[in-house]
Structure formats: C-alpha cells, structure tokens
Amino acid sequence: MTVTRRDVLEALAALSDATAGRTTTVGRVAAALGTDEPTVRRHLDGLRACELALRRPDGRVRVTVTGEEFLALDIDELAILDFRAE
C-alpha cells in the first residue's frame, strides 16, 4: 500500500491534538500506517512546509490547528496549499 501525505496527516490528527498540545512520535505514526519512519518523515516535512504539522525540538510531532481545519473541510479532490512568507 502506498502511503500518501493525506494518510500521514489523518494518522497524525488521530494520534495528536493541536488544541491540547498532545504530541506523538514518528514511530507511532509509522506503526499506525504500517509503513517505515523515513516515509513518514518525508511526508511530515511536506506537511510542515504547509503549516499542517509541527515538529518540536525534541522530535515529537503533532497536527496543527490549520491541519485539523483542513481535514474538517473533507475535500475528496486534490487541494493545493500555497503559503508565502511576507
């Protein structure tokens, strides 16, 4: 099974909580998806670039409020996010 960035975001949202600040590990996300940690890390890097995921200095990760709101949109098609620094 190919793991998509959306799969990682959904698993991250299930295992963490932005409002409560509850974090998880890359290993737990990988285990939940039945994939390896490097695959999850690659997807997390993309999610972080779009401000949908957060990685703490200690390596723990969590979904962001923006990530939770994006998932709540329940979009079935491709979505393009563009965050530009101003």
Task: State pTM to two decimals.
Answer: 0.87
Alpha carbon distance 34, 38 (integer Å): 12
| pLDDT in single tens digits along all 86 residues of the chain | 799 999 999 999 999 999 999 999 999 999 999 999 999 999 999 999 989 999 999 999 999 999 999 899 987 766 655 555 55
Helices marked H in 16-55 — which ranges?
A: 26-33, 37-49
Residue 83 domain-assigned (yes or no): no
Alpha carbon distance 15, 86 (integer Å): 32
Residue 9 domain-assigned (yes or no): yes
**Domain range for residue 51?**
5-72
CATH of the domain at 18: 1.10.10.10
Total domains, the chain: 1
Angle separating helix axes 5-15 and 65-72, nearest 10 degrees: 110
Residue 57 domain-assigned (yes or no): yes
